[in-house]
Amino acid sequence: MSTTDPQEVLVVIPARGGSKGIPFKNLKPVSGRSLVTRAVEAARNTPLVTDVVVSTDSADIRFEAERFGARVVERPAELSGDTATSESAVLHALDALDQEFGTRPVVTVLLQCTSPFIDPADLNEAVRKVLDGEADVAFSVAENHNFLWTKNDDGAVTAVGHSADFRPRRQDREPQYRETGAFYAMLTGGFTERKHRFFGRLDLQVVPEEHAIEIDSLEDLALVQAMAAPAETTAVDVDALVMDFDGVHTDDHAFVNSEGEEFVRVSRGDGMGIARLRRAGVPQLILSTETNQVVTARANKLGVDVVQDVKDKAEAVSEWMAVRGLDPERVAFVGNDVNDLPAMGRVGWPVAVADARSEVKAAARIVLSHNGGEGAVREICELVLAAHTAAATGSRNAIAEMTERAS
């Protein structure tokens, strides 16, 4: 078999909604993208993969998976409990697709959401090994040079995989390999026959240690989120900007007089940024969970859309984008508190102000350097303008180059 011939390669991503260790684990964000999104993107960016399916019992995961280009197989309740195996989810997905289309892929890949740093090049190589007949199963591992020990029931301590009286240097030891749990590329026929991920000839796909982290606990998630902290961004390439009001346009404080009237402090610099972005033709929206004349007055002065008394920010953002015909992947949302998280999940550029809550920062693709009410809005406006300027400059350069060639 040669990989020069087209072969059906299906990736199945089990992603149930429940999790005792980390509630809604598969939707937890890492650098602005949920774990299920990162898994789908890794699979879709793998050249030899022809189809990506997410097996889930969750409507929220279904929405996320379909939004990023995966198909979804509804996972029955009996396969969604804590004791259900990943193999059972993959076998169910294969049967469901077989019933719908009457075909089975040559290679099936089990890919886990809990491994957020999968490199498509590594996954592609594992698939190639199976397609080219080098292995029946190829799976991800990381080198392990540790000295391992075990303790028996009687308390006796025993060395595992090495001699207790011989301590060679790391570079002099033959490496062992630790299964990462990230992906398993399998010949479909062998997998459906054995109903287990390990059978026939096995091969290892060694991945870098920094890609081998698996999320099993809240501590693991916090470590991964810190590792994937957004790098400094000089431009945000979007077509529209949505902003929370309290905590973004303001410092999240309000003055209240004896009549119950509220007053807030805003930045004139933010207003200049909004005006510049408006002149560049970029649609903008201010959202607020309350109805407040201060918000109305500020939005009217800035000349941008405003929606108040919002019970569901995510739904409000989706409706506004649909009315304007915007691609959600090319929209930014700036938030500061936990009630902004659902809306941040609906856009391609979730953004947090510098003094946002830690959960919001973890969900953000970028974290601004300014606090809410103290230049955060101006900062995001300038980042959007920088991208538009770069795009315009690139277009002008391309036109000039074509004109020069024509002449």
Residue 169 reports pLDDT greater than 60: yes
pLDDT at residue number 231: 57
User: 40 and 166: one domain?
Assistant: yes
Q: What is the DSSP string of 186-254?
A: EEHHHHHHH-SS--SSEEEEE--GGG-----SHHHHHHHHHHTPPPP-S----SEEEEESTTTTS-S--
User: 278 and 174: one domain?
Assistant: no
User: 143 and 245: one domain?
Assistant: no
Summarize the confidence of residues 383-398 as an average pLDDT: 76
pLDDT at residue number 4: 38
Domain limits for position 337? 240-392
CATH number of residue 362's parent domain: 3.40.50.1000
Q: How confident is the prediction for the chain on average, in pLDDT?
A: 88
pLDDT at residue number 382: 94
pLDDT at residue number 2: 41
* Burial classification of residue 69, based on how many CB atoms lie within 10 Å of its CB (0-12 exposed, 13-18 middle, 19 or more buried): exposed
pLDDT digits over 129-168, tens only?
A: 999 999 999 999 998 878 888 898 888 898 887 777 777 7
pLDDT at residue number 292: 80
400 lies in some domain: no
Residue 396 reports pLDDT greater than 60: no
pLDDT at residue number 190: 96
CATH number of residue 221's parent domain: 3.90.550.10
1 lies in some domain: no
pLDDT at residue number 398: 54
- Domain end position, chosen among 168, 200, 227: 227
User: 267 and 122: one domain?
Assistant: no
pLDDT at residue number 25: 87
180 lies in some domain: yes
4 lies in some domain: no
* Percentage, residues of the chain above pLDDT 90: 56
User: 352 and 381: one domain?
Assistant: yes
405 lies in some domain: no
User: 73 and 221: one domain?
Assistant: yes
User: 80 and 203: one domain?
Assistant: yes
Q: Given pLDDT bands bounded at 50, 70 and 90, which one contains residue 232?
A: low
pLDDT at residue number 5: 44
Q: pTM here?
A: 0.68
- Domain end position, chosen among 184, 201, 227: 227
pLDDT at residue number 80: 78
402 lies in some domain: no
User: 332 and 216: one domain?
Assistant: no
Lowest mean pLDDT among 180-184, 263-267, 338-342, 395-399: 395-399
User: 32 and 173: one domain?
Assistant: yes
- Residue 74: which residues within 8 A CB-CB, separation 6 or more? 56, 57, 62
Residue 270 reports pLDDT greater than 70: yes
- Domain end position, chosen among 173, 196, 227: 227
Task: Give the single-character DSSP code of 341.
Answer: H
User: 120 and 204: one domain?
Assistant: yes
177 lies in some domain: yes
Residue 164 or 355, more confident: 355
User: 183 and 267: one domain?
Assistant: no
User: 282 and 223: one domain?
Assistant: no
Give yes or no for a contact between 111 and 89, defined as CB atoms under 8 angstroms apart. no
Count of the separate structural domains present in the chain: 2
324 lies in some domain: yes
